[in-house]
């Protein structure tokens, strides 16, 4: 009982080592239990909080599950039409060049309906940060096939699995835009384990710091789960993601300091 007493005793504000940033509002998140969106939101807000740039940050939310991101992030935001976030960000950054501008987009938004806006914002080297949540499915509309759905993967519009001969191949848009000279920093991360969360936060920080230097566009992809869409428990969906998504969407830096990262066999095994 003495131990219990000691533990209770440390629940004091001065002993807090981690709590939700005040840049996350107190509204309950609209996401399904175990969804990576919440963690991605929080890391993003922690970076903005720690950089103390709230008064200079403008965020753009997409259409899809994170359409209400502006309700959860206590910063100035605009809700874009489906896929158009990079167009909004382009104009905003050009007219507010001293501000930090980011888009937060899902795979359907960024890699299907918004492909043109994504590629051209990247190609113009807009000095913005794109945060790309890839869970291989359209979550909000009920689990339909996304541009990033894996071959053979079931969804409500590919109920027998994605047949690449008729439905096309999953689109690695992150690798695609990394080829463009306007793009300066591209990385692929995850938020399902503590270490991955820490790496994601570092990547987001780097991306925001780069905006100060006018080096070009930075894109942080976060491979995430959709346990509702995949019809699994959250913990099982994270395991499935490691076993199936990560081999296809390999984690790690893709482009750093404007140069493509060359992957050797050993580095891939690591």
Partner 1 sequence: MGELRLMKGNEAVAEAAIRAGCDGYFGYPITPQSEVMEYLMAERPFERTGMVVLQAESEVAAINMLYGGAGTGKMVLTSSSSPGISLMQEGLSYLAGAELPAVIVNIVRGGPGLGTIQPSQADYFQAVKGGGHGDYRMLVLAPASVQEMCDHVKLAFDKAFEYRTPVMILSDGAIGQMMEKVVLFDHIPRRTDEELIKQCPWASNGRPKTRNHNIVTSLDLDPAGQERVNLKLQAKYREMEKKEVLFEEVQCEDAEYLIVAFGLSARICQKALDLARAKGIKVGLFRPITLFPFPATQVSNVGNRVKGILVVEMNAGQMIEDVKLSVGCKVKIEHYGRFGGIIPSPDEVLNALEQQIIGG
Partner 2 sequence: MAKVIGDIAIDIEKCKGCEVCLAACPFTVIAMSKEVNSKGYRFAMKVNNECTGCTNCALVCPDGVITVYRAKVETV
Binding residues (CB under 8 A) for partner 2: these are 3-4, 6-12, 15-20, 24, 28-29, 31-39, 42, 191-194, 197-198, 233-235, 238
**Of 4-12, 73-81, 129-137, 219-227: span binding partner 1 (CB under 8 A):** 73-81
Across-strand partners of 88?
none
Give the one entry of partner 1, partner 2, none that residue 92 binds, where binding means its C-beta sits below a cut-off of 5 to 8 angstroms depending on kind: partner 1
Neighbours of 258 (CB within 10 A): 13
| String of contacts with partner 1 for each residue 87-116, x by CB under 8 A | xxxxxx-xxx--x----------------x
**Of 66-74, 141-149, 159-167, 201-209: span binding partner 1 (CB under 8 A):** 66-74
Q: Determine the Cα angle at 42 with ends 212 and 259, to 5°.
A: 40
Cα–Cα distance list, 159 to 142, 153, 163 (Å): 13, 8, 10
Q: Could you tell me whether strands 57-61 and 100-106 are parallel, antiparallel, or unpaired per DSSP bridges?
A: parallel
The yes or no reply on residue 214 touching partner 1 (CB under 8 A) is: no
Of the two residues 28 and 159, which places its CB atom closer to partner 2 in the complex?
Answer: 28
Contact 87, 179 (CB under 8 A): no
Neighbours of 96 (CB within 10 A): 12
Work out which of 21, 29, 70, 225 binds partner 1, going by CB under 8 A.
70
Question: What contacts 52, CB < 8 A, 6 or more positions away?
Answer: none
Work out which of 32, 51, 78, 261 binds partner 1, going by CB under 8 A.
78
Which residues are near partner 1 by CB under 8 A?
Answer: 54-58, 60-61, 67-68, 70-71, 73-81, 84, 87-92, 94-96, 99, 116-117, 120
């Amino acid at each position: 009982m003495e131990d219990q007493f000691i533990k209770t005793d440390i629940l004091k504000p001065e002993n807090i080592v981690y709590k939700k940033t005040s840049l996350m509002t107190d509204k309950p998140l609209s996401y399904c239990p175990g969804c990576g969106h919440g963690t991605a939101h929080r890391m993003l807000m922690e970076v903005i909080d720690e950089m103390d740039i709230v008064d200079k940050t403008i965020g753009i939310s997409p259409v899809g599950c994170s359409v209400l991101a502006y309700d959860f992030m206590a910063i100035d935001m605009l809700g874009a039409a489906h896929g158009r976030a990079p167009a909004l960000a382009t104009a905003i950054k050009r007219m507010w060049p001293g501000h930090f501008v980011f888009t937060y987009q899902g795979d359907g938004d960024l890699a299907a309906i918004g492909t043109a806006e994504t590629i051209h914002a990247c190609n113009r080297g807009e000095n913005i940060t794109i945060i790309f949540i890839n869970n291989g499915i359209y979550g909000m509309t009920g689990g339909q096939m996304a541009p990033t759905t894996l071959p053979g993967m079931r969804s409500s519009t590919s109920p027998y699995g994605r047949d690449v001969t008729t439905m096309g191949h999953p689109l690695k848009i992150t690798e695609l835009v990394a080829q463009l000279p306007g793009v300066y920093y591209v990385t692929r991360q995850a938020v399902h384990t503590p270490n991955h969360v820490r790496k994601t936060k570092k990547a987001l920080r780097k991306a925001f710091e780069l905006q100060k230097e006018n080096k070009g566009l930075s894109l942080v992809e976060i491979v995430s789960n959709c346990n509702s869409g995949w019809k699994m428990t959250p913990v099982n969906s994270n395991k499935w993601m490691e076993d199936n998504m990560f081999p296809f969407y390999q984690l790690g830096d893709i482009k750093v300091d404007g140069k493509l990262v060359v992957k050797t066999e050993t580095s891939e095994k690591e």
